[in-house]
Amino acid sequence: MSSHDVTIAGYLVVLALIVLLQVLATRTRAPIPSLGDMLTRAMRSRTGRVGVLVAWAWIGLHFFAR
């Protein structure tokens, strides 16, 4: 397994864990909040709200802007 494969496997593991947590949160009674609940909680304060929206704007800047 090359370094390339290991790196991509790492991303896939993280993605799988995100999906797993979301499924556990929404489809079972496990005491796990959904990602939406986490975002809502993070965005209850002004700094949290602005921080999350800036992170979103940064994604656009990072992938498209110079």
Partner 1 sequence: MSRAAPGPEDRHAGGPGTDGAGAGCAEAVVDTARPAGRVLAALAGLREPVVWILLAIAFFTAISGKPVDGVLMLLVAVGLAWDAGRRALRHSDIPGAARAAGAAGAAGAPASRAGGRRRVILASALLAGGAAYAGVVGSFSRYSWPVTACIIVLGTIVVLIGWHGPIRARPEGGRLPVAGALAWVAVLVAGCLWELGALLEQPSITTDSYAHPTISTLTDPVLAASPGRAVVLLGWLALGWYLVER
Q: Is 56 in the site for partner 1 (CB under 8 A)?
A: yes
Distances in Å between the Cα of 57 and the Cα atoms of 18, 24, 40, 52, 66 are 21, 29, 18, 9, 14
Of the candidates 15, 16, 38, 19, the residue with the CA atom closest to the CA atom of residue 27: 19
Q: Is 44 in the site for partner 1 (CB under 8 A)?
A: yes
Q: Is 23 in the site for partner 1 (CB under 8 A)?
A: no
Q: Is 27 in the site for partner 1 (CB under 8 A)?
A: no
Residues at the site binding partner 1, with contacts judged by CB under 8 A: 2-4, 7-8, 10-11, 14, 17-18, 21, 25, 30-33, 35-66
